[in-house]
Amino acid sequence: MRDANRKAQQRQTIMKAVNDILVALGEDPSREGLRDTPLRVAKMYQEVFSGREEDPRTHLQTVFAEEGHGDVVIVKDIPFHTMCEHHLLPFFGKAHIAYLPDGGRLTGLSKLARVVDTLARRPQLQERLTGQIADAINDALAPRGVMVLVEAEHMCMAMRGIKAHGSRTVTLVTRGIYDNDRDQRAEILGLLERQS
């Protein structure tokens, strides 16, 4: 019940803020097209930022240690969308994950996508998101190595300022063996970047 009250109070606070923004822009929040906008935006923000209250490592608690798999696991093209914390505008793209199990500790493939989704449901920076994905996998699975490559288009670059439509930002984070072993790093990076 306390959580429901907190969410209701949060929703009211967001609604008031959206109403104030509309008034500051010279709009009439009571006109038909805007009448329900503060509520819609509040509900959207509560959904889009719901990952703030969730630990992404919980998705990686189920492991299949008995499998004994010791070769690299790669999941590519995990779609995500999130909000840039600088302008509260979306950025979206794909995450590519590779990890090298240590002693065969494997997780379900869908769990990696859940980690990405959970971390994307926060005010984010692409650089931070990439590192948080790698750290969650590294912390929960203790693999020999992790590599995460994220590519995204940022609406703060497309809609305002430079208006660079279609530009993509690519970030790469490595942990473990991929930090120092150039050959291993190059091999996995080649697989991540290869088009299907």
Binding annotation for Zn(2+): 84, 87, 156
Q: How far apart are CA 14 and CA 38, in angstroms?
A: 7
- Tell me if residue 59 is catalytic: no
Among candidate residues 124, 126, 132, 184, the one labeled active-site is 126
Among candidate residues 84, 96, 124, 151, the one labeled active-site is 84
- Tell me if residue 81 is catalytic: no
Question: Which amino acids are annotated as binding site, given as ranges?
Answer: 84, 87, 156
Among candidate residues 47, 53, 67, 85, the one labeled active-site is 85
Mutual angle of helices 37-48 and 2-24, in 10-degree steps: 130
- Tell me if residue 27 is catalytic: no
The residue behind tokens 């429901």 is 4
Contacts of 60 (CB under 8 A, 6+ apart): 107, 111, 115, 136, 137, 140, 141
Among candidate residues 69, 87, 153, 187, the one labeled active-site is 87
- Tell me if residue 126 is catalytic: yes
Mutual angle of helices 126-141 and 109-120, in 10-degree steps: 140
- Tell me if residue 85 is catalytic: yes
Q: How far apart are CA 139 and CA 155, in angstroms?
A: 31
- Tell me if residue 84 is catalytic: yes
- Tell me if residue 187 is catalytic: no
Among candidate residues 96, 151, 154, 184, the one labeled active-site is 154
Supply the residues annotated as catalytic: 84-87, 126, 154, 156
